[in-house]
Structure 1
Amino acid sequence: MVGRTGAGPVTPLYAGLFDDAALFPPGDLPLAEAVPAHRGHRTAWYAETVGPFLCGPGRLADLVRTAGTGPLPVGLVLPGGSAGPATALKEAAGLDVVSIEIATDDVAATVAQLAAELPEGIAAAVELPRDGRTEDSLDALAGTPHRAKYRTGGLTAGAFPPVGELAAFLVGCAERAVPYKCTAGLHHAVRHTDPVTGFEHHGFLNVLLAAAAGDRDGAVAALEERSPAVVAAAVAALTDDRVAAARRSFTSFGTCSIAEPLADLADLGLLHPPTLEDR
């Protein structure tokens, strides 16, 4: 059986893959729009693809005041230098916090802080610094219950890691059985050059294929592929075992638009929205 199997339009390969980062650049959606939009995602046919609603400390107080009722699993995103998990969770009292993401220059110290401050039942992802010491950072995470987080884009060309750097991170995680999420830049399914900025964007399907590759050469080749047809064929050919292996490693990525990745998957023939007759 291959990766496109499943009882409905959403397959295990995409389950919970898209964390809702609508509040973050370049989307910057107002809370008054982002919260109902997220709840709409959670009742849509593609609801299984949607992860938590991500919120940083700058909007947390407003979210607490305006969240209202209805399902809203929240992921707290804490930048470097911000308050620690205990303080953030206190400020988020009343919200359904399911995860915390924390950026740090000292992964070992952050792991110790999480051990002291993070309640059971809340997942954590530690954003690694891109300082050339990725192996040391991953060693500090290995054997913990926490995910790694890696920045795959941003508002400058330098925010996009080269293929070799990203492949080394993915393989390093796999060697240590450390799951990971990505953040920023994965706006589309397949690697491409942005026609406006000229930035080289990684594709989220390229990252999934790299996660399924099992070695550095395979990861590099997967990340470098630019042909939508080649990428789509490789994804469709993934066995259930490779899908499971990829998703054990690559758990999710933050996207300011849930619609964009879904549209890409549909265009590639990898996701089949229900027709009116199916509803």
Structure 2
Amino acid sequence: MSRSSGFPHQARIFDHLVDDAAVFPPGLAPADVAVREHLDRRDGPYAAQLGPLLLPASAAAEVAALVAPDPRASERPLRVGLIVRPGGSLDPLVEGVDLLRDEPAVAVASVDVGWGDDWRRTMDLRVPVVVEVGVGAEQQAALDDIARAVDDGADVRAKFRTGQTPTWAWPDEATLAGFLDATVLRGLSFKLTGGLHHVVRGEYADEAMHGLLNVLVATHDALDGAEAPDLAELLAATDVEHLVRRVTALDDQDVDRLRASFTGFGCCGVLDPLTELEALGLLPERTTA
């Protein structure tokens, strides 16, 4: 499909949607490279679509030392999300947040943890909390727990992994649809992580991947009351033009409601989905001097 001319007002649906997970697999960028490139990108043509830089909590001190001398961060602090993978100790997270409170060049945008017995310790850190959930009965228990925290006034959202890892099987369309359905039914906001490198569902280098546009359309329909089987069909769709039409047909109210639900996703190659969106005419055209 060729680019359309210009871009629709709905392009703001992608604002600050893609969190920069460059240091995580499979990208595994060194911290100094990730920080430098992120600071460059937040002033570049994709600045509007860029979310915070995601980092292991254990890297807080290293990143603070890298950022402190950069004049760009003194004028506008680097926004970071500190992450502890599911099953990991929360101590590095607590220590990292405490350390960065004293570093004016870095602002902690969120902390990410796995759901477990002690995840609520993170609510004492006074930053938004993202809680990664699993599948099956554990997922339902986790989402109920998160919903109770939200009802009590906490700034918490759920997170689900859409890409496979050595210990996590790729969640198919039915599995992802079940998460979307369960999350929307509870009125929760959510983030995704892993595997959303492309805008349309497909097989890429012999690996199945979910599509960003599929997720956006499925989330919209879930908010309108569609149930898991219908969401799974949308997540499996490969008709690019149909998905583009669906997204560009959204009005301002649709965009606001959708982004209040689907708040972002981590991607180790942030340019991958953004350049595809641009090629489809869904982002502003880049200009050159």
Query: With structure 1 as the length reference, what TM-score do the two structures score?
Result: 0.87
Pick closer, same or farther for the CA change 1:249–1:96 going to 2, 3 Å.
same
Selected match of 2:125 from 89, 109, 118 = 118
> By how many angstroms is 1:15 displaced?
0.8
Any idea what the Cα deviations from partners look like across 1:126-165, whole Å, max 9, x if unmatched? 0112354222211111141200010111335953211111
> Displaced runs of 4+ in structure 1, greater than 6 A?
none
Equivalent position SS for 2:164: coil
Q: Distance in 2 between matches of 1:247 and 1:123?
A: 16
1:162 equivalent among 133, 151, 172:
172
Q: How does 1:109-148 map to 2 (within 5 A)?
A: 109-111=118-120, 113-115=121-123, 117-119=124-126, 122-143=127-148, 144=150, 145-148=155-158
Matches within 5 A, 1:27-42: 27-42=27-42
The answer (yes or no) to whether the contact 1:105–1:128 under 8 Å persists in 2 is no
State the alpha-carbon separation in 1 of the partners of residues 277 and 142 from structure 2.
Answer: 33
* Cα distance change of structure 1 residues 18 and 155 upon mapping to structure 2, 3 Å threshold: same
Q: SS of 2:95's equivalent?
A: helix
Q: Which residue identity is paired with 2:78? A: L
CA drift at 1:243? 1.7
Q: Distance in 2 between matches of 1:110 and 1:157?
A: 21
Instruction: Give yes or no for contact 1:228–1:268 (8 Å, CA) kept in 2.
Output: no
Helix, strand or coil at the partner of 2:274: helix
- CA-to-aligned-CA distance 1:34-56 (integer Å, 9 cap, x gap): 11111111111321111111100
Give 1:248's aligned residue: 260
Partner of 1:47: 47
Classify the secondary structure of the residue corresponding to 2:181. helix
Q: Deviations over 1:213-252 (max 9, x none)?
A: 1222442222111122222122112222222221111100
Identity %: 33
Which residue identity is paired with 1:223?
L
Partner of 1:96: 107
Deviation at 1:76, TM superposition (A): 0.2
Cα distance in 2, alignment partners of residues 258 and 201 from structure 1: 15
- Asked if the contact 1:35/1:67 (under 8 Å) is kept, the reply is yes
Q: Secondary structure at the match of 1:125?
A: strand
> Is 1:264 aligned with 2:238?
no
Aligned partner of residue 135 in structure 2, secondary structure: coil
* Structure 1: gaps of 5 or more residues: none
d(CA) in 1 for partners of 2:190 and 2:201? 19
Given candidates 261, 273, 279, the residue that maps to 2:285 is 273
